[in-house]
Amino acid sequence: MTTKAAPYDVAEFLETPEEMAAYLDACIEVADGDAAFIAKALGDIARAKGMTQIARETGLSRESLYKALSGDRSPNFDTVLKVASALGIKLSASPVEAV
C-alpha cells in the first residue's frame, strides 16, 4: 500500500480573523526569535486574505510583499506593522514566564 502526500498550504484553511490570529500567535510561540519564520506566517495569512487587498491597504506592491513575507529574509518592522494592521491583527506583548 502506497501513501500519497499532497502539498499543504495553510492559507487555504485560515478563514476567520480568530483563526488567523491564533495561527500567528502559535508561530510566534515556536519561532524562538526567528523573524523570517514570523514573516512567513504573516505571508500565509496575507495570502489567505488576498495579497492584492493587503498590498492596496499597506501601500506596498504585491511583489515586495511576497518577497518580504516569503520567509527567506526578515522584513523591516514597519512592513510587519503595516501588514498586521491591514490583516486586522493586533500585536501585543506579555511578560515571559519565569522558568
Residue 78 has phi, psi (to 5 degrees) of -65, -35
Q: What is the pLDDT of residues 9-60, one digit of tens each?
A: 999 999 999 999 999 999 999 999 899 999 999 999 999 999 999 999 999 9
Domains in the chain: how many in total? 1
Of 2, 19, 59, 1, nearest to 10 (Cα)? Answer: 19
In a domain, 58, yes or no: yes
Does residue 19 lie within any of the structural domains?
yes
Q: What is the pTM of this model?
A: 0.88
Domain span including residue 54: 15-87
Record the cell numbers describing residue 93, joined without a space. 506583548
Domain for residue 95, yes or no? no
User: Binning pLDDT at 50, 70 and 90, where does residue 94 land?
Assistant: confident
The span from the first CA to the last CA of the chain, in angstroms, equals 47
CA distance 56 to 58: 6
The 3-state DSSP class for residue 37 equals helix
Position 99 scores a pLDDT of 65
Residue 99 lies in a domain: no
Considering the domain boundaries, does residue 4 fall inside one? no
Residue 63 has pLDDT above 70, yes or no: yes
Residue 6, in any domain of the structure: no
